[in-house]
Amino acid sequence: MTSPVHSPLLERVMNLSAVSDLRAAAPTFDDDFHAADIAARMVWSSVVEPGDRVAHQLIGVLGPAGALRWLEVGEKVAIDLPDPADLPDPADLREGRSRWSARLEAGNVVAQLEAAARVGAQVVIPGDDVWPPGLCDLGNHAPHALWVRGDQTTLQRLTRSIAMVGARASTGYGEHVTMELVSGLVGRHFTIVSGAAYGIDGMAHRAALADEGDTIAVLAGGIDRLYPSGHDALLQRIIAMGAVVTEMPPGFSPTKWRFLQRNRLIAAMTRATVVVEAGWRSGSLNTAHHAVQLGRPLGVVPGPVTSASSAGCHRLLREEPATCVTTSEEIVELIDGFGTRESDALEDLSPGEQRALDALSDRARSVTELAVSSGMAPLDVQSALGLLDIRRLVEQTPTGWRRRRA
Amino acid sequence: MTSPVHSPLLERVMNLSAVSDLRAAAPTFDDDFHAADIAARMVWSSVVEPGDRVAHQLIGVLGPAGALRWLEVGEKVAIDLPDPADLPDPADLREGRSRWSARLEAGNVVAQLEAAARVGAQVVIPGDDVWPPGLCDLGNHAPHALWVRGDQTTLQRLTRSIAMVGARASTGYGEHVTMELVSGLVGRHFTIVSGAAYGIDGMAHRAALADEGDTIAVLAGGIDRLYPSGHDALLQRIIAMGAVVTEMPPGFSPTKWRFLQRNRLIAAMTRATVVVEAGWRSGSLNTAHHAVQLGRPLGVVPGPVTSASSAGCHRLLREEPATCVTTSEEIVELIDGFGTRESDALEDLSPGEQRALDALSDRARSVTELAVSSGMAPLDVQSALGLLDIRRLVEQTPTGWRRRRA
């Protein structure tokens, strides 16, 4: 493979010592192709807002480094394409270019990467062992990279995880119930994921830490600013014992939009979402909606109908396909029942999973082989295999992947 | 029509002044056929336990008076039948005869009727204007008669009614919520039906009375013994302002079986059942199951998961097709949504309703005409018409019943 020509920014980023630091915990790739891919994903993470569909499509066609070259060098790159018809709509691309170019200032990007390295963060990208397979279900709205502080291998335990979210304005009742439920889940080796907010979120993390369980906080802003500031000590403890992650690059503040996007990550990376207390318009209803849209089970803890802090929970029970849960056993049942349903119903597979499964047989195949036969990018194949593995539809052998026999 | 030969007991009962008293509030029938029918239903009500399918089948074929004659005079009556194949299985009939004969002691039956008349009760039978049309849905498990104290016209307002039931071991929370919900429902002119038990039931009746709303208590024992005794004053107030009903004749005590059967009446005679608080094995779960089996909407009020008095409610939310309700508006929506669904889905009709509807067209027909063309008993036609009327599928004109135009 001849060395691709990189964009000037990408060349500069690839030579940063900060980038090596940010990948210190990841397996190393000797080839230039992978190194460029990884660095380009970091840059894209800096350049786009969460959920930017057009950037996703572009990267899907050109690859992260190629897409970055298109953005920096100009539209003529597109003529190298096997089929330009795969590109996003030209009008979308023009708008995208103007959005992304504004942030494509080398000094800024480098400063962000160095800020991340300074706080000891790692960058995790699709295809990494620790990349949460559930994020695959976000399709064109998946993040390009995750910025992680703490032990990034905690992410591997997301295959057995619960998102436990709820109102900032929690009551003693909600906090007590959160503590009980989390304690039961941690005792069953579940990883507790939440948003580090005041109220139920904070209590969920605290309860997990108290029982020495795994916990992951997903932030809406940059990894260098622990938010909310009142939870600085809590977040430092999570970094020490679990992981704090975000898709926003350093320096970015948590805005309303980013909170909503953060919620989609919480719903996508976990096996089920449980809402403990929620006001009528609580942000945790948004996480719940994401869980439902992603086909994840949604558990809701009821409360007194006289409590405004439970009004959103009762609303979910009325308006969504939510299950009333009152104990940690019932939360586990939520997933067990769901897992069974999933493996029974192959039609529940995402397009990527279906294509990867179609390319598999009884004979073991390498990821590269599968990428060729499925027409998918190798990283997407790997993500899809991770998900199919959770569903127990495939298995990894020393010589590659194959379908699991019933 | 020649006057039928009645059984000795029926002749005696028909001549009792108590029987006239028990029908004082009903329209009078001059013909002997109707008088015998009414008296025979009272006797059957004394003789069978609630839900006796075989008695129902026998009465369906021979009529109440004919069936009684069969029971008293012997099996040879059966040879008068147009088609003996319609009779219940002979083994079932033999068992039935031994069950019923034991209670067929003239002195006892007369004493019961006189006891009922003494407490000012009325007897309501299928075909009466005030007969709750919902009881039709019980099919072969419908009661033969209802013993009523208070204003029997309250029963006519069951077309707009809610069963509000719950735990005897209620909490301040449950009682408060019951009061709020009932107050809202009474304000919308709903009749509140419950079982007069301690706890939620009693609070539902009290709240309805406090707002001068209609309320009906359904007892598991005889109409002459107000149970529980601690609710004697409450039941007297319900008699004064609403109605107390039971299918058990006077003198019968409320047993476990009769409570369960009473629950089916509460579920059947109302438009929806709402459970406010319920322990894990609360009797109100039984009422809820009956509501679901009868296709009635089931509303459940959640509570703290830490409260044992709400454990049954949360169980219903998990295990049954129950709707979480928190306000009286949400309870009304339960019925509105359901009513719409009903008139849309004609396949929801009971066999009796379907047969009656099939016999109807744009031309108005009398009940007798419909009985002939549908092959149903006139009283069953009348009950079915009542139900079809609630569903707004038929209408009554001066010359009889016809299908309602869309």
Condensed to tens digits (0 to 9), the pLDDT of residues B131-176 reads 999 999 998 899 999 999 999 999 999 999 999 999 999 999 999 9
Residue B302 to residue B405: CA distance in whole angstroms: 41
Q: What are phi and psi of A148, to 5 degrees?
A: -130, 135
Write down the pLDDT at residue A87: 79
What is the predicted pLDDT for the residue at B49?
Answer: 86
**Rounded CA gap, B331 and B182, in Å?**
10
Measuring CA to CA, how many Å separate B96 from each of B57, B67, B90, B99, B178?
Answer: 11, 12, 10, 5, 42
DSSP B196: -
Chain B residue with Cα closest to A299: B318
B185: helix, coil or strand?
Answer: helix
CB-nearest to B306 from A177, A318, A324 is A177
Residue A73: CB atoms within 10 A of its CB come to 13
Q: Are B303 and B173 in contact (CB under 8 A)?
A: yes
CA dihedral A36, A37, A38, A43 (to 10 degrees): 90
- Residue extents of the structural domains in chain A: 8-119, 151-342, 346-403
Residue B233: burial class (beta carbons within 10 Å; 0-12, 13-18, 19+): exposed
CB contact under 8 Å between B302 and A311, yes or no, is no
CA of B210, closest CA in chain A: separation in Å?
21
Q: Do A324 and B311 count as a contact with CB atoms less than 8 A apart?
A: no
Interface test with A, best of B181, B326, B328 (most A CBs within 10 A): B326
Which residues of chain B are within 8 Å of residue A310 when distances are taken between CB atoms? 302
pLDDT per position as a tens digit, B376-394: 777 888 888 988 888 888 9
Pairing state between β A215-218 and A191-194:
parallel
**Which positions in chain B touch A182 (Cβ < 8 Å)?**
none
| Gap from A332 CA to chain B (nearest CA, Å) | 14
Q: Are B72 and B8 in contact (CB under 8 A)?
A: yes
Task: Report pLDDT for B343.
Answer: 40
- What averages of pLDDT result for each successive group of 10 residues across chain A (406 residues)? 70 92 81 83 92 90 90 68 72 89 87 96 92 92 96 95 97 98 97 98 98 97 95 98 96 90 97 97 95 96 98 97 97 74 53 80 83 74 88 86 80
**From CA A75, how far away is CA A69, in angstroms rounded?**
9
CATH of A151-342, one of 3.30.565.10, 3.40.50.450, 3.30.9.10, 3.20.20.300: 3.40.50.450
Contacts of B279 in chain A (CB under 8 A): none
Q: Do A302 and B305 touch (CB under 8 A)?
A: yes
pLDDT of amino acid A337: 62
* Matching residue, tokens 């849905």: B137
Instruction: Please tell me the distance in Å from A351's CA to the nearest CA on chain B.
Output: 32
With bands split at pLDDT 50, 70 and 90, how would you rate the model's confidence at B399? confident
Residue type, A59: I
As a whole number, mean pLDDT of residues B59-86 equals 77
What is the assigned CATH class of domain B151-341? alpha beta
Task: Give CA–CA dist A4/A11, Å, rounded.
Answer: 11
What is the CATH code for A346-403? 1.10.10.10
pLDDT at B369: 81
**Using an 8 Å Cβ cutoff, are A376 and A356 in contact?**
yes
Q: A-chain residues within 8 Å CB-CB of B310? A: 302
How crowded is residue A372: how many other Cβ atoms within 10 Å of its Cβ?
Answer: 14
Tokens matching residue B41: 């239903």
Please give the Cα distance from A396 to A402 (Å, whole number): 7
The neighbour count for residue B5, using CB atoms within 10 Å, is 12
Length reported for chain B = 406
Predicted-assembly ipTM surpassing the 0.85 threshold:
no
**What are the C-alpha distances in Å from B242 to residues B148, B209, B267?**
10, 9, 18
Task: Provide the shortest C-alpha distance from residue A318 to chain B (in Å).
Answer: 6
Q: Is pLDDT at B340 greater than 60 in this prediction?
A: no
Comparing A26 with B13, which gets the higher pLDDT? B13
- Between CA A124 and CA A25 the distance in angstroms is 9
Q: Is A321 on the interface with B (CB under 8 A)?
A: no
- CA A160 to chain B, closest CA, distance in angstroms equals 23
pLDDT for residue A75: 61
Phi, psi of A93 (to 5 degrees): -65, -40
